[in-house]
Amino acid sequence: MPNGTLKRILDVGCGKNKFPGAVGLDRNPATDADLLSDLNRVPYPFRDSSFDEIRAVHVVEHVEDVIRFMEEMHRLLRPSGRLYLVTPHYTDSGSYRDPTHRWHLNSFSFYYFTEPRDYGFYSPVRFREHRIEIRLLKLWRWLGLEWLVNRSRAFRKFWEHYLCYLVRGKEIHFWLDAIKPDTWVGQGLACPEDRRRAPAGNT
Amino acid sequence: MPRILDVGCGRGKYPGAIGIDRNPATDADVLCDWSRGYPFADSQFDEVRLVHVIEEVPDILATLAEVHRVCRPGARVVIVTPHYTDHSSYCSPTHRWHLSSFSLWFFSDKPRQYSYYAPANFRERRVTVTLLRLWRWLGVEFLVNHLRWFRRFWEYYLCFVIRGKYITFELEAVK
């Protein structure tokens, strides 16, 4: 992100806690949304590569089609734009408390967008895994297990396979960067002012 | 005589109730697709029962709104559904939702921070969790059902080991 330009942030499913400075998208008029749109219907009302960052906090577990949602996130992000995604771990009671949660996910749930070896044929879009963090229930955090789980990927895998029904998770935080050709920048910004703000040399 | 509606009554219709189901091989009095709405006028029933139904509907919020519509003010609503740690929650491939004993909390009058989510208003009269027999014998079920904080603790820390079976929600329609 070059200096002196405004970072364009989209808060998808912003609810009543829209991220400061972000454009809020939600389907419920009782929220802080700037734009009302049903998140199950793509495309969302923005052009390609419109955002530097997209925040989807407790959203993906509600959408009808996770793969289509991720493809839409990829379309809206500029190359290397960052998707910040938060969702309950499937062992958290919160994953089951909300009767609109369709999907119960784990920390490897977006694997085939980042390491497409086995299931890459599900979707052509690609993200780079910047960071994944697990939050555990308070007791386990105090006992240092959260630190361990987040310290190494191997231990996180061990935790997912062997421990997580006892040492239960709470939330998973994903930071994923969109992999797409640089030539996409500047072709689809939302309005002419944005075109002026677009980083020079990237188009 | 109270008017009772048994939604998705199957073959075990509640005695004295009007049964609706979409399958003609059931005890239904009225055949309709209960996932879309009920063919009754507003405020008709003193009691509405959904026994092992809401885990199959396409949209729980819309279903509860429809139940609210056909309820008289103060009507009793009984909802039974598997707990998400019970194997029966995963047995049927038609189960769309895996729920906990706090899943209908949104609709009751306490946590109104989510009222924008679910406008249908119900008062929670009682929530009962049924555990597997072993845990019932050991008295855990009694604790879960008599201490709300313990039910919460059980949901967060214990229920993948001390597994639940089904949850019975008793709500009252507020309108």
Task: Tell me which chain A residues have a C-beta less than 8 angstroms from the C-beta of B60.
Answer: 99-100
For chain A, say whether B122 makes contact (Cβ under 8 Å): no
Contact flag A104-B98 (C-beta cutoff 8 Å): yes
Q: Positive or negative, the Cα torsion across B69, B70, B76, B81? A: negative
Q: Which tokens in the block code for residue A10? A: 């989209």
**Per-residue pLDDT, B70:** 97
Alpha-carbon distances, residue A151 vs A92, A145, A156 (angstroms): 21, 10, 8
Q: Which residue has the tokens 């062997």?
A: A162
**Per-residue pLDDT, B44:** 96
**Cα(B47)–Cα(A44) distance, integer angstroms:** 42
**Per-residue pLDDT, B113:** 61
Per DSSP, the residues of chain A read: --TTSPPPEEEET-TT-PPTTPEEEES-TTSS-SEE--TTSSSPSS-TT-EEEEEEES-TTTSS-HHHHHHHHHHHEEEEEEEEEEEEBTTSTHHHHSTT----B-TTTTHHHH-TTTTGGG-S-EEEEEEEEEEE-HHHHHTTHHHHHHH-HHHHHHIIIIITTTS-EEEEEEEEEEE--GGGTTTS-SSHHHHHHSPTT--
Contact flag A28-B116 (C-beta cutoff 8 Å): yes
Task: Tell me which chain B residues have a C-beta less than 8 angstroms from the C-beta of A103.
Answer: none
Task: Tell me which chain B residues have a C-beta less than 8 angstroms from the C-beta of A96.
Answer: 84, 98-100, 103
For chain A, say whether B95 makes contact (Cβ under 8 Å): no
Average pLDDT of chain B is 92
For chain B, say whether A152 makes contact (Cβ under 8 Å): no
Closest among A12, A61, A46 to A32, alpha carbons compared: A12
Residues A151-186: tens digit of each pLDDT: 999 999 999 999 999 999 999 999 999 999 875 444
**Per-residue pLDDT, A109:** 93
Task: For residue A96, give the nearest of B54, B61, B100 by CB distance.
Answer: B100
For chain B, say whether A195 makes contact (Cβ under 8 Å): no
**Per-residue pLDDT, A187:** 45
Rounded to an integer, what is the distance from CA B121 to the centroid of its chain? 14
For chain B, say whether A64 makes contact (Cβ under 8 Å): no
Given a cut of 50, the residues of chain A with pLDDT beneath it are 1, 184-203
Secondary structure (H, E, C), chain B: CCCEEEECCCCCCCCCCEEEECCCCCCCCEECCCCCCCCCCCCCEEEEEEECCCCCCCCHHHHHHHHHHHEEEEEEEEEEEEECCCCHHHHCCCCCCCECCCCCHHHECCCHHHCCCCCCCEEEEEEEEEECHHHHHCCHHHHHHHCHHHHHHHHHHHCCCCCEEEEEEEEEECC
- Give the pairing of strands A77-88 and A169-179: antiparallel
**In this structure, are residues A85 and A70 in contact, taking their beta carbons and an 8 Å threshold?**
no
pLDDT at B163 over 70: yes
**Per-residue pLDDT, A118:** 75
Who's near A11: CB < 8 A, 6+ residues apart?
A18, A19, A22, A23, A24, A25, A54, A55, A57
Residues A87-100: tens digit of each pLDDT: 999 999 999 999 99
In total, the C-beta contacts within 8 angstroms joining chain A to chain B are 48
Task: For residue B116, give the nearest of A30, A139, A166 by CB distance.
Answer: A30
**Per-residue pLDDT, B36:** 85
Task: Tell me which chain A residues have a C-beta less than 8 angstroms from the C-beta of B97.
Answer: 99, 101-102
**Per-residue pLDDT, B92:** 87
Rounded to an integer, what is the distance from CA A110 to the centroid of its chain? 10
**Per-residue pLDDT, B111:** 56
